């Protein structure tokens, strides 16, 4: 079982991922958790480059770096875990590349990014993708006091396009579960858990 969480910065992904992991553990299911970019020694080095505001990075280079980090994570951890019948939860996956680098940065045509994603993911597709939907204004209010990395320093127009990208993906992929993130963590988790149970992977 592969579950991915998507949404703009401040949407509450981290909270929901940890709540789901704890709920699964209570059910006797150990879930492997990885973040993107990251999760391997190579991928964490790439993450440091991508999020460092001191490095000006060409938008196409950005796509390829994210994809390189993803390829290493999938090959090194995700595929072996899934072949072993284990659960994997990803804090972001290739849908973020479509939304952030495709719609947000407008670095490459969307169809090109889809092709790169297919290669970098080694053909792996999530069983469920939770999209925690939150407006730009609400998200900005949540993260206003924290240090912002290179991605988070992009302007309002960028984030409006990112949200448009996520909305478009959610409307065209049956694996997406769009959840209103402007509620309490408990209310959001209830919807997440309900979708997991209905997936049929929990007996």
Q: What is the pLDDT of residues 168-193, one digit of tens each?
A: 999 999 999 999 999 999 999 999 99
Predicted pLDDT of residue 146 = 67
Predicted pLDDT of residue 165 = 98
Measure the CA–CA gap between 196 and 168, rounded to whole angstroms: 22
User: pLDDT tens digits for 121-139?
Assistant: 999 999 999 999 999 999 8
Predicted pLDDT of residue 141 = 87
Predicted pLDDT of residue 202 = 83
- Reported pTM: 0.94
Low-confidence stretches of the chain (pLDDT < 50) are: none
């Amino acid at each position: 079982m592969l579950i991915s969480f998507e949404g703009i910065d401040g949407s509450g992904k981290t909270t929901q991922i940890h709540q789901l992991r704890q709920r699964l553990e209570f059910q006797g299911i150990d879930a492997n958790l990885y973040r993107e970019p990251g999760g391997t020694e190579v991928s964490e080095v790439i993450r440091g480059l991508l999020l460092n505001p001191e490095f000006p990075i060409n938008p196409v280079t950005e796509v390829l770096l994210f994809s390189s980090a993803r390829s290493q994570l999938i090959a090194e951890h995700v595929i072996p875990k899934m072949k072993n019948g284990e659960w994997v939860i990803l804090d972001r996956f290739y849908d973020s590349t479509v939304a952030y680098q495709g719609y947000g940065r407008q670095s490459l045509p969307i169809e090109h990014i889809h092709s790169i994603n297919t290669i970098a993911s080694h053909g792996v597709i999530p069983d469920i993708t939770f999209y925690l939907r939150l407006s730009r204004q609400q998200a900005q209010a949540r993260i206003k006091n924290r240090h912002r990395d290179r991605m988070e320093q992009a302007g309002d127009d960028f984030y409006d396009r990112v949200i448009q990208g996520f909305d478009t993906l959610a409307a065209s992929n049956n694996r997406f579960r769009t959840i209103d993130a402007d509620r309490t963590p408990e209310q959001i988790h209830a919807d997440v858990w309900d979708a997991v149970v209905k997936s049929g992977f929990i007996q």
